[in-house]
Structure 1
C-alpha cells in the first residue's frame, strides 16, 4: 500500500526582494519573509483567511459529534467530541472531552471562549476544501476583494 501526499492549496505569492527569494540574508533566515523566500499577495492572504474559516470552528460553536484535534502530550490526536462544558472556571473557557481511539482513555482540553478549535477531516474532505479555496482565490481581485465579474470575462474583454 502506498501513501500519497496531499497537496496544499496553491496560494498566490510573490518572491521576496530582500533575500532574492532564497530565504537567507547574511547566512540567517531573512527577517522580512522569515526564511520562506516569498510573501503571500493580498489574494493569497484572503484565500488563507477563508481556508481558516473552513478548517477551524469558534470554541463556543463546537458541538458533540464534531471531530477535533486534541493536544495530547507533544502530539495532536483526532477524536470525536463527546462532551462540551461551557464557561469552565473564572476565565470563561470551553472544555472539550473525547476518547482516544487506540487506547480508549479519556482526553480533554480547555480553550478560551473566543478561541478556535482545529477540526479534523478525512483526506477526501480536505481535497474538497482545497478545491474550494483555490476556486475562491480565483474570484478575488488583486486587492483581495471579491470580484464583481468572473475572472474569465476580464481576460476576454
Structure 2
C-alpha cells in the first residue's frame, strides 16, 4: 500500500477512537432511587380513629432511599399533626416509618411508626401514634 493510504487509515482509526472515547466519557449513568418515586405532593383521604378528612402529604426525596415526609394527616380531631415532619425509608414500592419521636404543633411528644406502599399511582400509608396522642391513621392518595 502506498504510504499516504496507510497514513490516511491511521488518521481515520485515531479519529474513530477519539470519537468513541469522547462519547463514552460524556455519558452519565442515570441514578434513580426508590425515594424518587415517592417524591411529590399527594392528595387523598386521611382516616384516623375517629374521623377523616381530605389532606395533602408532601414527600421529599433525600439522599439514598431516605425520605422527608411532611405529615399533613391532620383531621378535625387531630389538628396538631398538621405540617409535622418525620423521616421514612423507601425500598422498592414500599416505605417504612421507623419508630421516631417528634413534638406536635402544641409541643407534645408523640412517637410514630408505620408503613406505606405505592401501587398503580396510588400512595397508601398506615401510621400509628403513641405518647401524648394515641391513634392510628391511614391515607390513600394520588399526585
For this structure pair, what is the TM-score category when the shorter chain's length is used for normalisation? under 0.3
TM-score (norm 1): 0.25
Structure with higher strand content: 2
- Bigger Rg, which one: 2
